Amino acid sequence: MNAPVTNTVLTVPEPRKVAFAKRPYPRVKPGSVLVKTEIAALCVDDRMYTDHVHEWFDHPLHCVGHEGVGTVVEAPESQVFRPGDKVLLSHGAYCGRCFACRNGLSQAHCASLSGGERAGTSTTVPEFFVDGLAPVERKNDSQSGWAAMAEYRLADEGICTLLPDDLDFRYAIAAECSIGMAYCAQEFMEVKAGDYLLLVGSGQRQFSLSHPIVGLFRGARVIAAAPDDFQAEKVRKIGEARGGTPDLHIVDMRDPNWTQQVLDLTDGVGPDKIADFTSDRETLNTEIDLVRHDGVLYIQENLRNKHRELRIDPYAGIAEKNLKIMGTIDSRRIDRPGIIRMLRNKEVQRMWDVVVTHEFPMWEAEQAFQISATQQCGKILLYPHGLPGQEGEQAYG
């Protein structure tokens, strides 16, 4: 079969408008891999749709999406990947030389993204785009697009992870900014069987709905403090999907007595570990009061909160309590083998089925962004080549 001539990529040329651009089919050189994207997931990409901002990117010419899984089409001179391999693509870059790359940390921290020794931050300007081209496009002399929401994607070999044949793409996609990031977070928190783990708020639901799954998988007593009916109902269904979870508890944050209910569930001492999804000042202070001494407060990003703040008396809030406060973005390279093993677990897969609320062929992405912006959804998946059974029916306008 001849290679296609073009690569259809999703763009948002102006707020509340999705357009599909035809780019040249990617050219790939050694060190990079060309992947046919089977599934791309919506992250906070709906902010691109509503506000024209997305993490590093705020330029309408740039493509959209960073979460993807797919099939290797070409991997020139690679010792690892072969055409036909199933791969997970993680966002960020891989230079192999910086601290993050040498230590198996997050590829979002690869220093090549900021052109220096130190990792950039997600709020820096997109300086790594030159003439609208991403580093991986320049490296490959290819103006083909680089992002997840496209038929084909170029990636540094180092951001790809080989997937086992028995893991469906639909479960593998959870390895990125949902179950994968929750796994990394709970590795940092050292959540173990028997721990009292409190999850607070809804925030970015891809995280607040993934943490119960990971917490239950690890054998913790999971207490979800839910701020709305959607969250409470989804968490309840996650427990149901697992097939009986006596140690999953849901507390309604609208009840002024909710913190007392948490104390009742934690022997009056407070949770061992708390994961916060709100980034809200008042809620964070409530959590610092609630967590037991020598405990852990973990902060999962909430980009939906534009007034993120943590204000604290370092003595009374941290030192006097022997408290650890921590956070992460992304997952680390060293976490991926564990994440992939977890995603092969049938209980985890049943729970993930609850988190995935919508699936669309990519040509219906406008609807996907609209639903995502309502935040009344779990994870939304896009299929650039059509839903299973729709292959060959591409309907890009």
From 383, 325, 41, select the one nearest 179 (Cα to Cα): 41
Residue 161-180 contact track with Zn ion, rule CB under 5 A, x = bound: ----------------x---
CB 342, min distance to Zn ion, A: 18
Q: Which of residues 206-245 bind Zn ion (CB under 5 A)?
A: none
Q: Which residue in this structure is represented by tokens 């059509």? A: 386
CB burial readout 366-376, b (16+ within 10 A) else e: bebbebbbeee
CB 251, min distance to Zn ion, A: 28
Would you tell me the crossing angle of helices 346-355 and 179-189 to the nearest 10 degrees?
A: 120
Which one among 101, 225, 275, 342 touches Zn ion, defined by CB under 5 A? 101
CB 57, min distance to Zn ion, A: 12
CB 90, min distance to Zn ion, A: 10
Q: Which of residues 67-96 bind Zn ion (CB under 5 A)?
A: 67, 95
CB 93, min distance to Zn ion, A: 6
Among the residue ranges 105-113, 191-199, 275-283, 330-338, the one whose residues contact Zn ion (CB under 5 A): 105-113
| Residue 168 and residue 176 in contact, taking contact as beta carbons nearer than 8 Å | no
- Residue 69 token pair: 């899984």
Nearest to Zn ion of 295, 378 (CB atom): 378
Nearest to Zn ion of 67, 276 (CB atom): 67
Q: Which amino acid is at 213?
A: I
Among the residue ranges 36-44, 319-327, 362-370, 381-389, the one whose residues contact Zn ion (CB under 5 A): 36-44
- Return the SS3 of 52: coil
Which one among 18, 35, 43, 235 touches Zn ion, defined by CB under 5 A? 43
Among the residue ranges 41-49, 149-157, 301-309, 315-323, the one whose residues contact Zn ion (CB under 5 A): 41-49
- Return the SS3 of 141: coil
Helices of type H across 41-118: 46-51, 99-102
Nearest to Zn ion of 93, 189 (CB atom): 93
Could you give the dihedral angle defined by the CA atoms of residues 175, 105, 335 and 204, in that order, rounded to the nearest 10 degrees? Answer: -40
Residue 252: burial class (beta carbons within 10 Å; 0-12, 13-18, 19+): middle
- Residue 364 token pair: 């219906």
Round to whole Å and give the CA distance between 199 and 182.
Answer: 11
Nearest to Zn ion of 177, 250 (CB atom): 177
Which one among 34, 72, 88, 110 touches Zn ion, defined by CB under 5 A? 110
Residue 49-68 contact track with Zn ion, rule CB under 5 A, x = bound: ------------------x-
CB 112, min distance to Zn ion, A: 5
| Residue 19 and residue 44 in contact, taking contact as beta carbons nearer than 8 Å | no
Round to whole Å and give the CA distance between 145 and 132.
Answer: 10
**What string of DSSP letters covers 122-137?**
TTS--TT-BTTB-HHH
Nearest to Zn ion of 272, 301 (CB atom): 301
Residue 121-160 contact track with Zn ion, rule CB under 5 A, x = bound: ----------------------------------------
> Which parts of this chain interact with Zn ion (CB under 5 A)?
43, 67, 95, 98, 101, 110, 177
